[in-house]
Amino acid sequence: MESAIYIVATPIGNLSDITLRALDILASVDVIAAEDTRHTRKLLDHHGISTQMASLHEHNESERAASMLKKVQEGGSLALVSDAGTPLISDPGHVLVSLANELGVRVVPIPGPSAVTSALSVCGVPCGRFIFEGFLPAKRKAKTDVLLTYEKEKKAVIFYESPHRILDTLELMNEVFGDRVIALARELTKRFETVRRDRLPVILEWVRADLNQQKGEFVLVLHGAESVELSVSDEEKKRLLKRLLVELPPKKASAVVADFLGGGKKEIYNLALELKN
Ligand code: SAM
């Protein structure tokens, strides 16, 4: 066994979703650093592995990383696993890996499952290019601010979500992105695996109406914004704005024009104020 730390991907539900190489590494290293040793014990027992474990999670990582690496520098081997999927993807491990890099300790990836790639592979949303946002902030204002940064994003955006926040997040997304397509991937590789792609208002109503759809683990894949850049002259923009101002206050009229024809919101709003006067 080569002296190194091995970053080992483990299943996101189905215990058989683990590579032959991952099993081999887990059985051969000196120690497995696990986010939750009781959780990982089930996986090891399932595969008949009895390697010694040590706990390494977000609250003790800074304190333990150095001593774990010291053993590797002395010729030992260490595998890092998290509770599910690929370590460091919305999971602990960054402190350990970054320190290992600084110290020149070899870090070896043992690739395998991750909820993000699993969801992307089945969700049916164009995802040749995507942005991984992971978990949104818990507070509504901070969450809204993050969502607003993706209002015009053309790439698919991936979010992780937990059962007690899924409804709130879908409600906010519905406010920010309106009729946009979204895919919801729930409990992937598990008994109640569900993948559904539809317009946001439809997904929201479906989840709201069915408590079962609020249970488990979620990945949300938001469709990128469609390009609405039309070649409309400033004169035509002005004409539309003038017409809308007959029916709507300047703020709403300029928002509609900016939404449909593109252009700076503030600039169009100022023009609306000018025209109104
Ligand atoms: N490291 C993991 C990975 O590679 O995907 C992610 C760990 S993060 C703490 C846990 C989150 O991942 C869950 O809240 C959920 O958003 C997502 N997730 C994990 N397993 C999932 C599954 N089986 N189905 C859907 N989402 C899952």
Residues 181/223, Cβ–Cβ less than 8 Å: yes
Q: How far is the CA of 10 from the centre of ligand 1 (A)?
A: 11
Q: How far is the CA of 115 from the centre of ligand 1 (A)?
A: 5
The bridge status of strand 31-34 relative to strand 181-186 is unpaired
Q: Is 161 in the pocket of ligand 1 (CB under 6 A)?
A: yes
Angle formed at CA 117 by CA 114 and CA 121, multiple of 5 degrees: 135
The CA distances from residue 108 to 31, 173, 176, 223, 251, in Å, are 15, 38, 41, 33, 55
* Ligand 1: nearest atom to the Cα of 87: 1
Amino acid identity of residue 227, one-letter, is S
pTM of the model: 0.84
Q: Is 2 exposed, middle or buried (0-12, 13-18, 19+ CB in 10 A)?
A: exposed
Q: Is 44 in the pocket of ligand 1 (CB under 6 A)?
A: no
Q: How far is the CA of 35 from the centre of ligand 1 (A)?
A: 14
Q: Is 194 in the pocket of ligand 1 (CB under 6 A)?
A: no
- 131-170 confidence digits (pLDDT tens): 999 999 999 999 999 999 999 999 999 999 999 999 999 9
Q: Does residue 227 surpass a pLDDT of 80? A: no
Q: Does residue 233 surpass a pLDDT of 90? A: no
Q: How far is the CA of 182 from the centre of ligand 1 (A)?
A: 18
Q: Is 189 in the pocket of ligand 1 (CB under 6 A)?
A: yes
pLDDT band at 77, cuts 50/70/90?
Answer: very high
- Distance CA(117)–CA(180), nearest Å, equals 21
Q: How far is the CA of 136 from the centre of ligand 1 (A)?
A: 13
Both structure tokens of 150: 């993706």
Both structure tokens of 207: 């989840």
* Ligand 1: nearest atom to the Cα of 119: 25
Residues 252/201, Cβ–Cβ less than 8 Å: no
Among the listed residues 4, 28, 31, the one whose alpha carbon sits nearest the alpha carbon of residue 101: 4
Residue closest by Cα to atom 19 of ligand 1:
115
Both structure tokens of 196: 């559904």
* Mean pLDDT, range 261-277, rounded to an integer: 86
The bridge status of strand 194-199 relative to strand 181-186 is antiparallel
CATH number of 5-113: 3.40.1010.10
- Distance CA(220)–CA(223), nearest Å, equals 10
* Mean pLDDT, range 24-51, rounded to an integer: 98
Angle formed at CA 144 by CA 138 and CA 147, multiple of 5 degrees: 105
Domain ranges in the chain are: 5-113, 116-222, 234-276
Q: Is 165 in the pocket of ligand 1 (CB under 6 A)?
A: no
Mean of per-residue pLDDT scores for the chain:
95
pLDDT band at 235, cuts 50/70/90?
Answer: confident
CATH 3.90.226.10 fits 116-222, yes or no: no
Place of tokens 């066994």: 1
- Distance CA(33)–CA(40), nearest Å, equals 10
Amino acid identity of residue 81, one-letter, is V
